[in-house]
């Protein structure tokens, strides 16, 4: 990411706000805003490019993505598998409708977290995986999913990767420091 040459943007802004000449202050604040807009635009462009490069690398590795039309059905299937034992009242209390992964962060379902979650996902022999985003209408079927690694999703936020037959899920959240990622697998009663 591009870094501003100032030690601290807010220190510069404080200096400008201390200028008594209101016309000069206004002009400098507008210039600061333009600079930050340009830096933000550059950072967004850079991030989008890096994201596309990562996706290209995953596809070149041999993962095949097929877009799925029925995102709502996929979300419902995830909920039926991984949150079926959570009551509607508890779901309301943990804001499940906003973020399904709250079943893990509120410890209503005991999942592996952070490094253990990454290691479990990386080690797990995956054939196919379904992928959807919490706040997007994009969803995919990933074939050759054994080629996927946890760090493939580090630029994705609130993404759910799962297999409904094998009953495992990997979730990478937008709360990269405090919450997640999570890996959870429902064990058979026989195991």
Q: pLDDT, tens digit, for every residue of 52-68? A: 999 999 999 999 999 99
DSSP 8-state assignment for residue 95: T
Residue ending a domain, choose from 16, 36, 61: 61
Q: Are residues 120 and 74 in the same domain?
A: yes
Q: Are residues 104 and 89 in the same domain?
A: yes
Using a CB cutoff of 8 Å and minimum separation of 24, what contacts does 20-25 make?
none
> Does the pLDDT value for residue 4 go beyond 80?
no
Say what the pLDDT of residue 5 is. Answer: 53
Closest to 51 in 3D by CA, of 170, 153, 160: 153
Per 3-state DSSP, what percentage of the chain is helix, strand, and coil (rounded to 5)? 45, 15, 40
Q: Are residues 74 and 167 in the same domain?
A: yes
Q: Evaluate whether 113 touches 181 at the Cβ level (below 8 Å).
A: yes
Say what the pLDDT of residue 10 is. Answer: 80
How many domains does the chain fold into? 2
Residue 90 token pair:
């508890």
Banded model confidence at residue 82, pLDDT cuts 50, 70, 90: very high
Answer whether 0.85 is exceeded by the pTM: no
DSSP 8-state assignment for residue 1: -
Pairing of strands 159-163, 112-113: unpaired
Residue 173 token pair:
């959240």
Say what the pLDDT of residue 115 is. Answer: 96
| 170 found inside a domain | yes
Say what the pLDDT of residue 191 is. Answer: 45
Q: How far apart are CA 64 and CA 92, in angstroms?
A: 36
Range of the domain at 74: 62-185
Residue ending a domain, choose from 16, 45, 61: 61
Q: How far apart are CA 149 and CA 123, in angstroms?
A: 9
């Amino acid at each position: 990411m591009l870094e501003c040459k100032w030690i601290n943007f807010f220190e510069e802004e404080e200096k400008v706000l201390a200028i008594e000449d209101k016309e000069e202050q206004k002009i400098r604040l507008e210039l600061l805003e333009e600079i930050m807009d340009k830096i933000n635009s550059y950072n967004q462009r850079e991030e989008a490019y890096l994201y596309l490069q990562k996706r290209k690398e995953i596809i070149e590795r041999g993962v095949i993505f097929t877009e799925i039309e029925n995102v709502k059905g996929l979300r419902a299937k995830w909920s039926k598998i991984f949150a079926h034992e959570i009551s509607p009242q508890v779901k309301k209390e943990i804001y499940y409708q906003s973020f399904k992964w709250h079943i893990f962060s509120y410890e209503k379902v005991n999942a592996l977290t952070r490094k253990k979650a990454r290691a479990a996902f990386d080690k797990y022999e995956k054939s196919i995986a379904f992928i959807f985003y919490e706040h997007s209408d994009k969803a995919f079927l990933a074939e050759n999913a054994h080629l996927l690694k946890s760090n493939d999703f580090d630029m994705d936020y609130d993404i759910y990767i799962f297999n409904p037959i094998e009953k495992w899920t990997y979730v990478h959240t937008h709360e990269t420091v405090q919450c997640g990622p999570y890996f959870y697998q429902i064990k058979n009663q026989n195991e």
